[in-house]
């Protein structure tokens, strides 16, 4: 299904539903456990649950970054390193302003220390390799879900930030899918293990997984 197959009302409904669900599930994958109902209440009514304030602030930041990612795709603005840094700053900006002790720094800037991807054996780029590696993968804009899957794996293997790499990478998929006129994949918390297995297996497996997630997005229309 193409986004352009949907009328304006359907596109708006998809945007708002995906904004809430992505902000919940993408953060739950990383350990911030606000479920979709709690996230909806936060984003629509500004009401917090009894969960951590820091969690709420990161979810609010994610929703803001989702707006930016979607609009960049609609505007056909090709992502680049500066856009990636902006998404990262939006993701953690609210939390850093209010609860800086809980935020891994720097935000909106590439890391200067070595890191690892939890739960995998994947070797990531060294700090001095990050800028050039990002410039290289942004040379070609993905044109379909298979190329978006390949890009996502390459981005995560660069791992440019101390924290938030998975969330920024999934937000980039939103921009790329909207620009390609296809449905962004909804990767749920319950699919975390399947998602990590696809990452380890490579581009073809990731493309199959993302296509499955696109079917979940289609159910939101």
| Per-residue model confidence (pLDDT) at position 122 | 77
Q: Report how far residue 148's alpha carbon sits from residue 174's, in angstroms, rounded to the nearest whole number.
A: 10
**What average pLDDT does range 140-158 have in this prediction?**
96
For the domain 3-218, what is the CATH code? 1.10.3290.10
**What average pLDDT does range 56-64 have in this prediction?**
97
Lowest mean pLDDT, pick from 106-115, 121-130, 200-209: 121-130
Tell me: pLDDT of 118 over 80. no
Task: Name the pTM for this structure.
Answer: 0.95
Instruction: At 161, list the tokens.
Output: 């930030």
Instruction: At 79, list the tokens.
Output: 């992502």
Q: Report how far residue 179's alpha carbon sits from residue 75's, in angstroms, rounded to the nearest whole number.
A: 8
> What is the percent of the chain where pLDDT is above 90?
90
C-beta neighbour count of 178 within 10 angstroms: 21
Q: Where are the alpha helices (DSSP H) in 46-102?
A: 53-74, 81-98
Tell me: pLDDT of 82 over 90. yes
> What are 171-185's pLDDT values in tens digits?
999 999 999 999 999
Q: Report how far residue 205's alpha carbon sits from residue 175's, in angstroms, rounded to the nearest whole number.
A: 21
Tell me: pLDDT of 170 over 90. yes
What are the phi and psi torsion angles at 161 (to 5°)?
Answer: -115, 160
**What average pLDDT does range 30-48 have in this prediction?**
94
Q: Which residue has the higher pLDDT, 48 or 191?
A: 191
Instruction: At 215, list the tokens.
Output: 């079917």
What are the phi and psi torsion angles at 115 (to 5°)?
Answer: -140, 175
Task: Say if residues 76 and 179 touch (Cβ distance below 8 Å).
Answer: yes
Task: Say if residues 124 and 157 touch (Cβ distance below 8 Å).
Answer: yes
Q: Report how far residue 40's alpha carbon sits from residue 48's, in angstroms, rounded to the nearest whole number.
A: 10
* Sequence spans of domains, the chain: 3-218
Task: Say if residues 202 and 122 touch (Cβ distance below 8 Å).
Answer: no
**What average pLDDT does range 97-114 have in this prediction?**
94
| Per-residue model confidence (pLDDT) at position 15 | 97
Which of 121, 199, 109 has its CA nearest to residue 160?
109
């Amino acid at each position: 299904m193409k986004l352009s197959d949907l009328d304006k009302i359907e596109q708006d409904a998809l945007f708002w539903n995906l904004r809430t669900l992505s902000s919940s599930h993408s953060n739950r994958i990383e350990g911030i456990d606000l479920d979709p109902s709690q996230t909806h209440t936060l984003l629509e009514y500004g009401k917090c649950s009894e969960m951590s304030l820091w969690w709420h602030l990161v979810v609010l930041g994610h929703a803001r970054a989702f707006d930016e990612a979607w609009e960049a795709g609609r505007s056909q603005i090709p992502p680049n390193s500066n856009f990636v840094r902006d998404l990262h700053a939006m993701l953690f900006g609210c939390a850093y302003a209010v609860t800086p002790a809980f935020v891994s720094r720097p935000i909106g800037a590439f890391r200067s220390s070595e890191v690892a991807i939890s739960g995998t054996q994947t070797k990531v780029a060294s700090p001095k390799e990050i800028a050039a590696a990002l410039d290289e993968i942004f040379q070609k804009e993905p044109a379909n879900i298979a190329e978006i899957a390949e890009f996502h794996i390459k981005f995560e293997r660069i791992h440019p930030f101390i924290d938030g790499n998975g969330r920024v990478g999934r937000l980039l998929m939103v921009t790329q899918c909207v620009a390609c006129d296809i449905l962004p994949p909804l990767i749920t918390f319950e699919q975390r293990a399947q998602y990590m297995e696809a990452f380890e297996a490579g581009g073809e497996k990731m493309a199959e997984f993302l296509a499955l997630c696109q079917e979940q997005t289609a159910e939101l229309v």
